[in-house]
Amino acid sequence: MKRLIPKQKAPSFNNSVEYLHSKTQFWISEIEFIKIEQNFLKELLAEHIIGLCDTNNFTRAKLLLNGINHEAILGETLIESIKEHKINLGLLIENIYLKKENIFRDNHELLKTELKNYIENFKYIKEEVFELILLIMKKEKQHKLLVK
């Protein structure tokens, strides 16, 4: 009598350890790019700080600079956590940590949530900086028109 063995579901690439490993590399590159944006925003605020001195928005600009610096520190911490996670996933790919796969998957989800929050916080700060700089640039433009 022939016994039928049910087909094993082939793991999809979306859930594979290799996929998780590639996602961590993408996350690192995202944070690295955000670091460049953070430096740009700091320079942008510094360039327009004279315009801020004349307005009540100077305090707002200082808070935004503090927020950017805080996010930069969080970004460094997050990169280190992701790099450690990436190493663990690499070892899992090499079949070294087979018994800890579920732990690494849970950690991956946690890091994914942290990254999402980090990016959302940065987007908020970036939007606030752009609004503030736009306001200052409009005032500078009005001032130039009045002088002419």
Per-residue pLDDT, 91: 85
Q: Can you read off the two tokens belonging to residue 59?
A: 């305090």
Its pTM stands at: 0.79
Other C-beta atoms lying within 10 Å of the C-beta of residue 25: 13
Per-residue pLDDT, 52: 65
What confidence tens digit (pLDDT) does each residue in 26-58 have? 999 999 999 999 999 999 888 877 666 666 778
Q: Is 50 exposed, middle or buried (0-12, 13-18, 19+ CB in 10 A)?
A: exposed
Q: Can you read off the two tokens belonging to residue 37?
A: 């944006």
Contacts (Cβ under 8 Å, ≥6 apart) of 64: 41, 45, 125, 128, 129, 132
Other C-beta atoms lying within 10 Å of the C-beta of residue 42: 16
Per-residue pLDDT, 104: 86
Do residues 125 and 64 make contact, with C-beta atoms less than 8 angstroms apart?
yes
Digits of tens for pLDDT over the chain (148 positions)? 455 555 444 444 456 888 998 999 999 999 999 999 999 999 988 887 766 666 677 888 889 999 999 999 999 999 999 999 998 888 888 877 677 788 888 999 999 999 999 999 999 999 999 999 888 888 878 877 777 6
Task: State the DSSP code for 148.
Answer: -
Contacts (Cβ under 8 Å, ≥6 apart) of 25: 86
